[in-house]
Amino acid sequence: MLKYIIKRLLLSVPLVLGIVTATFFIARLAPGDPMDMYLEPQRQRQVDPEVIELMRKRYGLDQPIHVQYVTWIKNVARGDFGESFRHRRPVRDIVAEAVPYTLQLTILALLLDALFGISLGIISAVKQYTKLDKTLTVGSLIVYAIPGFWLALMLIMLFSVNLGWFPTSQTRSMNYEDLTMIGKFLDRLWHLALPVFVLGIAGAAGTARYMRNRLLEVLNEEYIVAARARGFRERTVIVKHALRNALIPIVTIYGMSLPFLLGGATIIETIFAWPGMGRLTVAAVGGRDYPIIMATTTIAALLTVLGNLLADVTYAAVDPRVSYDAPRKR
Amino acid sequence: MKLRRLLGSVSVLATAASFAACGPADDSPDRQSAGPDARGPVTVTVLVPDGDELVMSPVSDTPHKFLMFQPLVARAADGTLEPRLARSWEPSADHTSWTIHLDRNARWHDGVPVTSDDIKFTVELMSLPSVGYGQYYGVEIEVLDDSTFVWRSKRNSPLGDYHSFFPKHVLEKLDPDGFYEWDFWAHPIGNGPYRYVRHLEKTLTELEAVSDYFRGRPAIDRVILKYGSGAGAIPELLASNVDVIPLNAIDVPKVENDRRFQITYKSAFWSGWAGYGIMWNHRHRVFSDPSFRRAATLAIDRPALHSLLHLPDDLPVFDVVFTERQVSEAPEPLPYDPDAARRLLEDAGWVDADGDGVRERDGEELTFTAITDAGQGDRVAVIVQAHLRAVGVRMEIQTLPGPMVVWQTRVKPGDFEAAIFWWNPGVYGTFGPDSFLGYLNEDVHALLEVLQTTQNPAVVDSLYRELWPHFQADIPVTFLVPRVTLFVSDRRLRGLSSPHRGDPVWYMDDLWWEEE
């Protein structure tokens, strides 16, 4: 297994390098110049062209693109993602500030996804073809089909604007500093409620469908028939025999959620003014803030590769039939 | 049953959290709004674009800067300049230097007087390569005494309402190489009507009125700058979490009939051209004919266009460029007159012989492609397309991702027939000898050359007036939609007026709150 992991990690190096290289050149070759922020038409002011040239030099934009690329790779190898054009601060610090906000959101969303998705999938499968199953099937298909941004706006209008139950956006209340520790904790939960629900419920709908189908497949397996024939209670058959096997692919799906955990949810973060990685990336793309674009892309690429590896390894860990070790010679 | 229990638990948890926390923000005591004569503090909450990690960015035009720091002058409701830090100013005869007299009562928030040395220090600091600001290009300051200095510059006037100055006595000993990491930007000491109170990371910055502010204590006691933008802005306003938000024209219908709110705008339709227009490529054999450009302009109902785009009704329509002093003086634009447009086209030989609704001449259809951006541009273009079609001109639309892409990939290299987008390379760049439109008019070029050499307002205005007959004759560009920034605010916030004082942040110290 260790050999397999090392092999996969080594193979992922050129993959990640390929992704970040493509991103680097696409971003640089796309129309738009980061120095245009000095030339916004509404400013109507004379900006010193020498300063613009100085800024180009400072950020290495005066160099040929291949030189910029090599410099960037060297710096990243040292853990230096450079300085943001817009914020004029180290990218590392800016990303470090955004990550906790994204993690709060995505971890809770995944938990909600798992809680609702798996539970409803099991209920649906066990009660196959009943009214409950049909209701859950139609409901999950509808939720799955609803665009997240629309659902978010509708929930804001209903629960924030009309009912006033939840905040419309942001991560905390204006009087956050005056709250007790428990108050602060509850305040954060209060602000997380809507974005987590929107993110989690869409995932849960998909998970529920997947869980239902997988469990139904397993319930038709011969060993389940055998278990029933042996007189085990139905509950034991489902929980001990069927569910454990049905959950195997689900576990791998969550393994592959790693990029989502840190990559954030762009649209939802934007709608709820949530200062996470997704929103940071959108702002960076709009402002041609290359260092941030490259940092977030590199992180996403790394996490995607690691997520896939994690999924494979988890699969092997939970399913004894799967082995990445070479078969023993007889 | 289990499902119901699950859903029930979630809703109970959420409701409990909401009660246990603090309830909606507008329940907080400091959100109580009252008139200036009523008891209790008046707090205005403004939604501002995503906050930086610092309280204010020293090089960006953020609301924080305008509330905490004053420029030398500001624009009055009628567009004229009025004193701020500067009590008075006298330009030299050639308008390349100004003698500025500071208001002797102006103070930093720590009580130290604002002096000429602060102005000189700021200009020199911001001009350092490590700062990379660039907007004091070629500015030299000569200090005459504590409250008098001379500002010399051939290109940058001190009379811009966007300048801000920093306290020398606080910053002079700090290392300029660490400019962007200075703690000062997180705890600024300004000279404006509001002082820094607190900053809640990624959430808000709170400012309070300076009680001994040299222009008088502002009527709005407290300003909260709440961070957020985009799709969440309107819900924030509707939920009464904020009193002021910047508004996209497309969102105007969502609030325009709500009696709680007022819409104001700040315009930038002077000093050249800032807005949407049809940029005709004059190298094109059809568009090189001024009568075609005139016909196309006559065919477009520009006031109706503004209305369809939800822009204010009082936005001007014009065919010339003008300065901020000439907003009401600019000549009458061509009217909407499709019949006149048809006559002009027929006179030029364009007739619809085959009855397909599109005119032809010598077997060639009157068809062209306009490139535009996928923001407001494509909305403008669709309306223009319909108006032109009504007079027998077929305009195809090609949409590109944004104005910058339109400019850099197509217009700047001259690879276009017509373009509907906003970009302002300045009057000289648009209509001068190197006009990206390919506009050829020796008289205009000569006037623009002179315009490049002077800042004297009287001379500048006079040169613009001389340009007007040429523009009226040539119609080098069909101006469509002036560029404006819209704001929607609580109607009880008084003292706002368009087009000069439509931005509540810039003039907060002159506003007041009045219960209806």
Interface test with B, best of A38, A132, A175 (most B CBs within 10 A): A175
Q: Which among B204, B228, B404 is the nearest to A31, CB-wise?
A: B404
- Asked whether residue B307 falls in the same domain as residue B376, the answer is yes
Same domain, B147 and B232: yes
CB contact under 8 A, A51 and B129: yes
B238 in reach of chain A (CB within 8 A): yes
* ipTM entry: 0.79
Closest C-alpha among B44, B32, B41 to residue B507: B44
Residue B150: its H or E element: strand B148-152
CATH code of the domain in which B467 resides:
3.10.105.10
- Residues of chain B positioned with their CB less than 8 A from the CB of A120: 3
* B477-482/B140-145 β-pairing: unpaired
Here the CATH number for the domain that contains residue B251 is 3.40.190.10
Check CB contact under 8 Å for B50 and A172: no
Residue B30 lies in a domain: yes
> Does B22 contact A94 at a Cβ distance shorter than 8 Å?
no
The verdict on B204 and B123 lying in the same domain is: yes
**Which candidate from A41, A174, A179 shows the least CB-CB separation from B204?**
A174
Task: For chain B, say whether A29 makes contact (Cβ under 8 Å).
Answer: no
Residues of chain B found within 8 Å of residue A175, distances taken between Cβ atoms: 22, 28
- Domain that includes residue B197, residue range: 20-268+485-513
**CATH top-level class for A91-318?**
mainly alpha
Instruction: Let me know whether B361 and B499 are in one domain.
Output: no
State the Cα–Cα distance between residues B447 and B431, nearest whole angstrom: 10
**Which among B134, B482, B434, B138 is positioned nearest to B316, based on CA atoms?**
B482
Residue B388 Cα distances to B287, B306, B474, angstroms: 14, 16, 19
The answer for B 50-69 residues in CB contact with A (under 8 A) is 50, 52-53, 59, 61
Contact A41 B424 (CB under 8 A): yes
Describe chain B by its helix, strand, coil percentages, rounded to 5.
Answer: 30, 25, 45
Q: Tell me the average pLDDT across B195-205.
A: 90
Q: Read off the pLDDT band of B10 (50, 70, 90).
A: very low
- Number of structural domains in chain B: 2
Chain A: closest CA distance from residue B403 (Å):
10
User: Looking at residues A301-316, what average pLDDT do you find?
Assistant: 83
* Encoded tokens for A70: 């090599």
In a mutational test of the B interface, the residue from A52, A88, A182 whose CB has the highest number of chain B CBs within 10 Å is A88
B6 lies in some domain? no
Same domain, B454 and B507: no
CA-to-CA distance for B135 and A43, rounded, in angstroms? 10
Q: Is B50 in Cβ contact with A275 (below 8 Å)?
A: yes
The answer to whether residue B1 sits within a structural domain is no
The reply to whether B264 and B293 lie within a common domain is no
CB B387: neighbour CB atoms within 10 A? Answer: 21
Q: How far is B211 from chain A (nearest CA, A)?
A: 23
The proportion of chain A whose per-residue pLDDT surpasses 90, expressed as a percent, equals: 38
State pLDDT tens for residues B60-117: 778 888 899 999 998 888 878 899 999 999 999 888 899 999 999 999 999 999 999 9
Read off the pTM.
Answer: 0.81
Which 3 state secondary structure label does DSSP give B194?
strand
Is residue B9 a part of any domain in this protein?
A: no
Delimit the domains of chain A by residue range: 91-318
Which of A50, A193, A270 is closest, CB to CB, to B230?
A270
Q: CA-to-CA distance for B501 and B495, rounded, in angstroms?
A: 8
Q: Which tens digit of pLDDT belongs to each residue from A77-87?
A: 888 999 888 88
* Domain-embedded: residue B3: no
Q: Do residues B416 and B502 share a domain?
A: no
Same structural domain, B239 and B297: no
Tokens 């909450």 sit on residue: B45
**Is residue B60 located within the same domain as residue B146?**
yes
Q: Is B441 helix (H, G, I), strand (E, B) or coil?
A: coil
Contacts of B239 in chain A (CB under 8 A): 160-161, 164, 168
Q: How much is the mean pLDDT over chain A? A: 85
- A133 near A124, Cβ under 8 Å? yes
Smallest Cβ–Cβ distance between A32 and the set B53, B238, B405 belongs to B405
State yes or no: pLDDT of B325 exceeds 60: yes
On chain B, the residues whose CB falls within 8 A of the CB of A49 are: 137
A95 touches chain B (CB under 8 A): no
Choice between A34 and A208, residue whose per-residue pLDDT is larger: A208
Q: Per-residue pLDDT for B24 more than 50?
A: no
First CA to last CA distance, chain B: 52
Q: pLDDT tens digit string along A251-290? A: 777 877 777 777 768 888 988 989 999 888 888 887 778 8
As beta bridge partners, residue A299 has none
Within 105-134 of A, beta carbons closer than 8 Å to B belong to 115-116, 119-120, 123, 132
